[in-house]
Structure 1
C-alpha cells in the first residue's frame, strides 16, 4: 500500500465519512461524490464498480431493498399500519405504558419482517397522532420505537440494512439469521420494555378524558382498501415464505422480493408510477455510492492491509476476536451510520473468517451483526431509522435533539450489547 492511489483512496474515504457525519451536505451527495472521486483517481474502474461481484455495487442488496420498498409502498395505501396503531391503543385501554409496550412489540415484529426504516416511516406519524390525542409527549414513544426497530431488525436478514450486506458477503440465508439471532432479539425486546418503563417513567401521564376520546375511534375506518390489503398480505406472506425456503428454492432474497413486488402490482389496481414514487431512491443511491467507495479501497489493497493487521492481532483467538469485533462495532456504529460501517467491515471480516478456516455462519459474522445493529441505537445518527424518525418529529414540530435521543440510546446500547456479548460467549464457546 505504497502507491499514491492507495493513499488518495483513503483520503477520499475519510473525507466522505467526515461529510456524512457532519451532515454539511446530504449523505447521498457525499456518497455519490466519493464514488465519483474513486473512479476519477483510478482507485477503481467501470468494470469493477458495476460488474464485479466482490468490488462493485452489490445488486442483490439494491434489488432486495427495491422490492421490499415497493411492497410496503402498496401496503401503505391500505391503511394497515394506521389500523394496527389504533388497535394497539384500544387494546391497551389507552394507558400510556401499555400503549408504548404495544407499539414497541408491533414495531419490533414489523421491523423483522420488513425493514426498520420503512417500519418507522409508517408507524411514527400514527404515533404522533396518538400522542396528540392522549396529550402525551411524543419524544419518548418515538425514541422507544426507534430502539425497538433496531433491535427487532437484528433478528432477520431483511430487518436491518447491515444484515443484508453481511448476508450477501458471507452467503448467509434468512434461516441462518432466524436461528442465530432471533432468540436473543426476543430477550432483548423484553429487556427494552423493562428499560423503557424506567427511562420514560415521568412521561406516562394518564388523561381520562383524552383516553375516552381515543377509545371512541373505530380502527376499521383506517382501512382504505380492504381488497388491496388482502392482496398485499398474501404477497407479503409468500415473500417471507420464499426467504425462509431459500435452502430449498435456491432463489436469492432479492429475486424473491422482486417477484413479490411484481406479483402484487400485477394482481392489484395500483399504478406502477404510484408504487415507484414510494421507493426511497436516495437510499438506493447512497448504497450504490458506498459500494463503489468500498470497492476502491479493496482494489487499491487498503482493505487487504487492514485485514492482515487485524488477523495478526486476533490470530487464532476466536473468543477474543469475537468480543473485540462486537465491542468495536457497537462503538463505531454509534459514531457513524451502521450501514457504511458494515459495508467497510464486511470484506475485512470475510478475510478474518477465511484465515480461521471458518464457514459462512462463523461467530465473527454474528458478532459484527450484533455490534453494528445494536450499536446503531447509541446515538441519533447511529442508524438510518434514527435519522428518519428525528426528521419526522421535526417536520411535525415535535423536535427531538441529538442529545435527547442519545442519552437514552447509550443506556439501551450498553445493556443490550453486554447481553449480546454474554450470548455470544455462551452459545459459541462455553456451551459449544
Structure 2
C-alpha cells in the first residue's frame, strides 16, 4: 500500500510539473512534503543518506557557479562579447546568428546553459534591433545552441550534474566522451539554421553603420573586476579538469571559487546573491526527496532489476532504448526531473554489467538523449523556458508551437546523429 501511495504522489507531482498547472517548485515541494507525511521520508532519508538523500554536491556546485556568474555579470563582459561578435560578422544576419550560436554553445559548456541564455538573450535583442532582423529566430537558435553546447561538459546542463553525481564520472570523462559529438552537432545545427530561418536573413546595409558605430569597450563597466573574475573562473575551470587528481569534488571547487571571488572583488553581497536562482535549487531539493522515496520503497531497484533482465547483457539495445526514450520523454517534460528519476536506475543497470563492453555507454546515452531531447518543445529544458520568458518581457512573444515546430526537427536530427556516434564509438569500434 505504501509503495502505491509513493507512486501516486510521484506521478501526480510529475504531471503538475509537466503541465505547469502550478509552479514546478510548489509541485516538487508538495510531493516531498507528501512523502514525509506518509512516513516514507524522515530527516535521515532526506538529508543524510547517500542513497536516498538530497544530492548536496549538485546543489552546491550550482550555487557556487551562480555566485561566480553573478559577479561576472557586473563587469559587462557578456555584452562586450556579443557586440564584438556582431561587428566581426559585419552586421550580416546569418553570420551574426552563427557567431551568437558559437558564443552560446561555448559559454554553455563552460558555465551552464540557463545562466548563458539569461546573459546573452537580452544582448541579442539589442543586436537584432541594430541590424533590423527579427529576433525570434535568433532567440530560438540560442536556446537550442545552449542545450547542445551544454551537453559537452559536467556543468553545462543540470542533468549532467545529476548523472555525474550518481555515476562518479569526472569533468574530463564528460569532455572526452561527449565533446567530439557535440562539436559535430553544433556544426550540423548551424547548417539547419541556415535553412530553417532563411527568411530572417535579410541584409539591411543602412543598419550596419549603426552597429559598427557601437564601441564594445564601453560595455565593460569594471575592468579590474573583470581581471579578478577571469583569474578565478580560469582557476575554477582548471580545478574541474583536474579534480580527480586533486581529490576535490567539483562542488567544493565551485564554492571555493565563489568565496574567493566575493572576497577579493569586494562586491555587494546582496548583488551577488540576487543572481542565484534559488527557485531552481529548491526545486532540485524537492525532486531529490521524491526520487529518494522511490528508492526507499524499492521501486527504482525493481525497475532496474527488470531492465537488467530484459537487457541480459545487450548493452547496445539498452543504449538505443535509453537515448530514444530519453529524447522523447525530455521533450514532453523538463529533463531535470526525468534524469533525476532515471539516474539511479541506470546506475544499477551499469553496475550489473560489471565492466562489460558497452555498459558505460548507457550513461552517455542517457545524457545525450535527455540533453538533446530538451530541444524538442518549449518546455523540454529550463533554458527554453527562460528564453521564452525574456522574449515575452521584451515584446517578442514566442508561442509553444512556434518553438516546437523547429525543436522537433532539431531534436530528432541531433539525437539520430548522437545514436550513430554511440553505436560507432562504444560498440562497433570498441
Category of TM-score, reference length = shorter chain: over 0.9
Task: Kindly indicate whether the alpha-carbon contact (under 8 Å) linking 1:35 and 1:293 is maintained by their aligned counterparts in 2.
Answer: yes
Q: Distance in 1 between matches of 2:29 and 2:93?
A: 43
Task: Kindly indicate whether the alpha-carbon contact (under 8 Å) linking 1:64 and 1:253 is maintained by their aligned counterparts in 2.
Answer: yes
Match of 1:207 among 204, 222, 227: 204
Task: Kindly indicate whether the alpha-carbon contact (under 8 Å) linking 1:78 and 1:225 is maintained by their aligned counterparts in 2.
Answer: yes
Match of 1:423 among 409, 418, 421: 421
Alignment of 1:228 onto 2:225? yes
Deviation, 1:301, is: 1.1
Alignment of 1:245 onto 2:242? yes
Number of residue pairs aligned between Structure 1 and Structure 2: 429
* C-alpha distance after superposition, 1:76-133 (max 9, x if no partner): 0000000011000000000000000000000000000000000000000001111122
Which of 254-263 and 359-368 deviates more? 359-368
Q: Distance in 2 between matches of 1:380 and 1:124?
A: 16
Match of 1:16 among 13, 18, 26: 13
* C-alpha distance after superposition, 1:255-276 (max 9, x if no partner): 0000000000111120222111
Give unmatched runs, 5+ long, in structure 2. none
Aligned partner of 1:256 in structure 2 is: 253
Q: Distance in 1 between matches of 2:152 and 2:361?
A: 15
- SS at the partner of 1:124? helix
Deviation, 1:134, is: 1.7
Q: Distance in 2 between matches of 1:321 and 1:54?
A: 23
Aligned partner of 1:193 in structure 2 is: 190
Scaled by the length of structure 1, what TM-score is found? 0.98
Alignment of 1:58 onto 2:48? no
Match of 1:363 among 353, 361, 364: 361
Deviation, 1:160, is: 0.3
Runs of 4+ in 1 over 2 A off after TM superposition: 358-361
Q: Distance in 1 between matches of 2:359 and 2:212?
A: 48
Q: Distance in 1 between matches of 2:381 and 2:427?
A: 29
- SS at the partner of 1:181? helix
Task: Kindly indicate whether the alpha-carbon contact (under 8 Å) linking 1:172 and 1:361 is maintained by their aligned counterparts in 2.
Answer: no
- SS at the partner of 1:296? helix
Aligned partner of 2:171 in structure 1 is: 174
Task: Kindly indicate whether the alpha-carbon contact (under 8 Å) linking 1:43 and 1:297 is maintained by their aligned counterparts in 2.
Answer: no
Scaled by the length of structure 2, what TM-score is found? 0.98
The alpha-carbon distance between structure 1 residues 322 and 50, as it changes in their structure 2 partners (threshold 3 A), is same
Deviation, 1:354, is: 1.1
Task: Kindly indicate whether the alpha-carbon contact (under 8 Å) linking 2:330 and 2:374 is maintained by their aligned counterparts in 1.
Answer: yes
Q: Distance in 2 between matches of 1:106 and 1:134?
A: 18
Task: Kindly indicate whether the alpha-carbon contact (under 8 Å) linking 2:78 and 2:120 is maintained by their aligned counterparts in 1.
Answer: yes
Alignment of 1:274 onto 2:271? yes
Deviation, 1:36, is: 0.6
Q: Distance in 1 between matches of 2:218 and 2:122?
A: 17
Match of 2:42 among 42, 45, 63: 45
Q: Distance in 2 between matches of 1:396 and 1:7?
A: 46
